[in-house]
Structure 1
Amino acid sequence: MTAARLSTSLGDGGSVRIVGTGLLGTSIGLALRALGLDVILANRSPAALRLAIDYGAGRPAADGDAPALVIVAVSPDSTADLVAAELDAHPQALVTDVASVKAGILADLLARGADTSRYLGSHPMAGRERGGAISARADIFLGRPWVIAPHALSTAAQERILEDLALDLGSTPVRLGPDEHDRGVALVSHVPQVVSSLLAARLLGGSDAVPALAGQGLRDTTRIAASDPELWIQILGANAGPVAEVLEAFRDELDGVLQALAAPNAPGAPTRLAGMLTRGNQGVARIPGKHGSDARYASLVVQVADEPGELARLLTEIGEEGVNMEDLRLEHSPGAPIGFAEIAVLPEVASTLGDALLARGWQLSGGTS
C-alpha cells in the first residue's frame, strides 16, 4: 500500500490526530505510520498513551499541531463529548469517529449545537475479541467494510477524505446514512453478540464433561461471547431500538421452532423445521466472501496429528504445491490425538491438491466439498 491517497487529500504535511489508543485507535495509528503519515496520539490515560507510542502508532501532541483529520476512537458513551471537544479545539480539521453506532452520536452533536459541518461519522467493521493497544494490528482493516455515514451538512469532499483513509488501510468504503447503518449493524454485529453470549451462558453449571464434547460448531457460534462486557453494555444501550427490533423477530421465529419441537411428528411441524433450516441456508448464502457459503471455494479436511510443527508442515507443503489457501479453519478437542484442518481452495485445484497431500502421507476426511 501507499499513502498517496490520504496524503494528497489532506494536503502536504497534513497530520492525523487519533483520540483514543485502544484497539481501533492504535491499529489505525500503526497502519498510517507504516504509510509514512504523521500521527498524533491522545488519550486520557497516560499509561495507555505511552504504550501506543511505544508500539509505534504515533507521537504525543506538541504545541503548534494543526491536524487536518481527527479520528475519535473511544467508547460509544464518550464519543459525542470528545467529537464536540475536538471540533472546538481544531477548527480547521475534519473530525470523524469510529464508534459502532452513528445516529445517536449525530443527534447528540446537533442537540448541543456542535459544528457538524466538519463532522462525518464512520465505522470500520473490524475488531477482535480483546481490546486495548496490546491487541492492535495494522492489518485488521484489510478486506473489511468501512462505513462512511453522510448527513445533511457533510460534503462530498469530506467523504472522499474518509474514503481515501479506508482505501489506504485496505478497507472497502461503504456509504450508509446513520439510521441505515445502525439498523444494519444491529443485524450483522450487535444481535450476533447477544445470541452468542446467551448460547455460551448455557454452558455454565453442570458437569465439565459436557463442554468437553464441544466441536467446531459451538466454538464458531460462541467465539465472540469472549468480548468485553463493559464495551458491549454501551453498544447495546446506544443502539437499543434496532437491536430490540431484530431480537423481537428472532423471538417470534424461535417461538415457532419451540411449537414444532413440542410435537415434532404433528402435521406441519417437520415443514416448519425444514423451512427454518432452509431459510438459514439461504441467509448464509448471502454473506459475501469466503466466510459465507460461497460456492467459489472447495474445502479439503485434513487430519493433523497433535504434535509440534505438524500444522506448520501442512501449510508449508500446500505452498510447495503452488496452491493459494483461501481460508483455514481448525477443529481440535482437548486431549484428542488429532485435529482437523479445513482448507478452502479454488475448486479447480482441490482435486489436484488432495491427490498431492495423499501422496505426501496426509489423511483426508470426507473428501472435498
Structure 2
Amino acid sequence: MSDRRLEGSVRIVGSGLLGASIGLGLTARGVDVIVDDASPSNARLAIDYGAGRAPRDDDAPALIVVCVPPDVTAQVVGAELAAHPDALVTDVASVKLAPLRELESAGADLSRYLGTHPMAGREIGGPAAARADLFLGRPWVLAGHDAISYRRAAAIEDMILDLGAVPVEMTVAQHDASVALVSHAPQVVSSLLAARLTDGDNAALALAGQGVRDVTRVAGSDPGLWLQILSANAVPVAAILRALRDDLDVVVDALERIGDERPDGARRAIVDALAAGNAGVARLPGKHGKDARYASLVVLIDDRPGQLARLFAEIGDLGVNLEDLRLEHSPGAPIGIVEVSVLPEAVAALERDLIERGWRIAG
C-alpha cells in the first residue's frame, strides 16, 4: 500500500503470536517481511498464514524486530546487531531494563537498538493465533535510553503507526514500573484468584457469571512465559503485591471482626476499600474505565446463531457508533446479555429504535 510509512524490508525473529501478527499487519501494507525462527516449523506455519517470506542470503533488512521469550531477548538482539551492522533492531519483550543491562554488559552497539513493547496480546499463543489487527488502537511503548535518539529510531515508530498502534515514549525504568502495575501484578492476582476455583464444586462453578470471568480471563496464560516476565521485573511487581497484601489484610481483619460480632469500624474499612476500587477504575482512560462520555444500554438476545451479528448490523444501520460492549451468558440460559456503550446523546434514540425493531431492552 502506498500510504505506508515504513521503507525497506523488515526481518522478524520469532514467529509466535506477536511476531506473526506484526508480519501479517506489515505484509498487508505491502512491506517485504522476512520471517525467521529457531523453530523451522513455527516459521513455516507463520509464512503459510501470510506473515512474510523465508530468509534469503541477500537479505538486507532495514529494521529487525526480535519477538522471542524475555530470557533470551538480549542474546538474540545482540546476535542480530552483530549479523546486520546496518540495521536498526528492536524487540517486543514485556520487560525492558533487564535486556538493556545485559546488552550493555555485552558491549552491544546500542546506538542501533531501541526496545519496545506493544500492549496487546491474547491468552493463546503461536502463529495460528496471530491477527493483523492485533495492535489497532493499542499503546506501544518506545523505551528510550541515552545511546539512541528517537530520530535515529524513526523507522520503529513508522512500523508502530503502520500497524495502527499508538506510540508512547517512556524510559526503560518507567516502562517496567508501569507494566508491573497494569499488567504483571494483575496477572498474578488473576491467577491466584482462578486457583481458588479449583476448590469449588460443580454447583458453585455453574453460578459463575461475567464478573469472575473478567477477573480471571488472563489466568489462562502460559506459566512458563510468565515466570520469565515476573523474574525479569521482580522488584516492582513484588512492591505492588506487598501493598495489595496489606490492603487484603485490612479487609480480612474487618470481615473477621464482623463475624466475631466485634464490628466497630469494620464496615467502614470494607466500604473504604471498595470505594478506593471505584476511584482506581475511574482513572482508567478511554472506553474501559468508568468514562462519563459513554452511556450503556443492556439488550437481551436469544441464544441462537446470528443474533449478535444482527444486533451489531442494526446498530450500524441506525448510524450509531458502538463505543464498547460487554457480553454475558450463563450456561443453559436461553438468552444472552449484551451491554453496549454509546455516546450519551445517542442512547435514548437507540433504545427506541431497537425496541421498534423487536429487540428487548433490560430494565
Q: Pick one of 172, 175, 197 that aligns with 2:191.
A: 197
Does 2:256 correspond to 1:262?
Answer: yes
Pairing partner for 1:235 from 208, 213, 229? 229
Aligned: 1:300 with 2:302: no
What secondary structure does 1:114 align onto?
Answer: coil
Matched, 1:165 2:162: no
* Partner in structure 1 of residue 147 of structure 2: 153
Preserved CA contact (<8 Å) 1:148 1:159: no
> How big is the shift at 1:342?
0.6
Match of 2:357 in 1: 360
1:268 deviates by 1.9
- Alignment RMSD: 1.3
Q: Do structure 1's residue 184 and structure 2's residue 178 form an aligned pair? A: yes
Where does residue 342 of structure 2 map in the other structure?
A: 345
Whole-angstrom distance in 2 between the partners of 1:144 and 1:365: 32
Counterparts of 1:1-369 in structure 2, within 5 Å, are: 3-7=3-7, 14-264=8-258, 266-366=263-363
What amino acid does structure 2 have at the position aligned with 1:289?
Answer: G
Say which SS state the counterpart of residue 231 (structure 1) adopts.
helix
What code does the residue aligned with 2:159 have?
A: L
Name the SS for the 1:67 alignment partner: coil
Q: Is the 8 A contact 1:66 1:90 kept in 2?
A: yes
Matched letter for residue 327 of structure 1: D
1:229–1:307 CA distance, 2 compared to 1 (3 A): same
Q: Residue deviations 1:209-239, cap 9 Å, x none?
A: 1111011100110111111111111111111
Deviation at 1:106, TM superposition (A): 0.3
Residues 47-91 of structure 1: CA distance to partner in whole angstroms, max 9, x if unpaired? 101011111111111111111111000110110110010010000
Distance in 1 of aligned mates of 2:90 and 2:194: 35
Task: Give the secondary structure class of the aligned counterpart of 2:341.
Answer: strand
Q: By how many angstroms is 1:3 displaced?
A: 4.7
From the superposition, tell whether residues 2 and 178 of structure 1 become closer, same or farther in structure 2 (CA, over 3 Å): farther
- Check the 8 A contact 1:284/1:293 in 2, yes or no: yes
Distance in 1 between residues matched to 2:351 and 2:185, nearest whole Å: 38
Encode CA deviations 1:112-165: one digit per residue, 9 max, x unaligned.
111112111000111001010000001110110010011110113233222221
User: Are 1:117 and 1:154, in contact at CA under 8 Å, matched by a contact in 2?
Assistant: yes
Equivalent-residue separation in structure 2 for 1:308 and 1:115 (angstroms): 56
Return the offset for 1:307. Answer: 1.6
Distance 2:338 2:150 in 1: 46
Inter-partner Cα distance in structure 2 for 1:206 and 1:145: 37
Letter of the 1:346 partner, please give it.
L
Distance in 2, Cα, partners of 1:19 & 1:95:
11
Are the counterparts in 2 of residues 79 and 105 from structure 1 also a CA contact under 8 Å?
yes
8 A Cα contact 2:63 2:156, kept in partner:
no
Q: Indicate conservation of the 8 Å contact 1:150/1:159, yes or no.
A: no
Does the CA contact (< 8 Å) of 1:2 and 1:168 recur in 2? no
Query: How far has the Cα of 1:2 moved from its partner?
Result: 5.7
TM-score (norm 1): 0.95
Please state whether the residue corresponding to 2:292 is helix, strand or coil.
Answer: coil
Does the residue aligned with 1:203 lie in a helix, a strand or coil? helix
Runs of 4+ in 1 over 4 A off after TM superposition: none
Which amino acid in 1 is paired with 2:217? R
Gaps of 5+ in 1: 8-13
Where structure 2 has 5 or more consecutive residues not aligned to the other structure, the ranges are none
Aligned length: 360
C-alpha contact (below 8 Å) 2:88/2:153 kept by paired residues:
no
| 1:269 shift after superposition | 1.6
1:277 Cα deviation after fit = 1.3
SS for the counterpart of 1:276 is helix
Contact residue 123 and residue 220 of structure 2 kept, 8 A: yes
The answer to whether the Cα contact below 8 Å between 2:118 and 2:138 also exists between their aligned partners in 1 is yes
Q: Which amino acid aligns with 1:272?
A: A
